[in-house]
Amino acid sequence: MNRCPEIITEYMHEYLDGEILPEHKNILTVHLKFCADCRQHFQELEKSIALVKSISHVQAPTDFTQKVLMNLPKEKKKVSVKR
């Protein structure tokens, strides 16, 4: 890995951003076939993204909207008077 050109890591990120040029993708694909260290690096990147995406989505508490509405200023100009 240390001896590999840094550009390979950049291509990995271009790929992960979904913005890789076909020729860069070609270079990356070939290099990953030959270099186990870079392959591992790339797999670890993909895995960490998958893990982050996997955390289940949370929802706002049920009374959330009601609470917001209760705390809105009645008339915008009176905020400072009321509080």
Q: How far is CA 37 from CA 2, 12, 17, 62, in A?
A: 9, 13, 21, 48
Q: Should residue 76 be labelled a site residue for another protein when binding is judged by CB under 8 A?
A: yes
Q: Should residue 77 be labelled a site residue for another protein when binding is judged by CB under 8 A?
A: no
Q: Should residue 36 be labelled a site residue for another protein when binding is judged by CB under 8 A?
A: no
Q: CB neighbours (10 Å) of residue 80?
A: 7
Among 6, 75, 81, 82, binds another protein (CB under 8 A): 75
Q: Should residue 81 be labelled a site residue for another protein when binding is judged by CB under 8 A?
A: no
Among 56, 81, 82, 83, binds another protein (CB under 8 A): 56
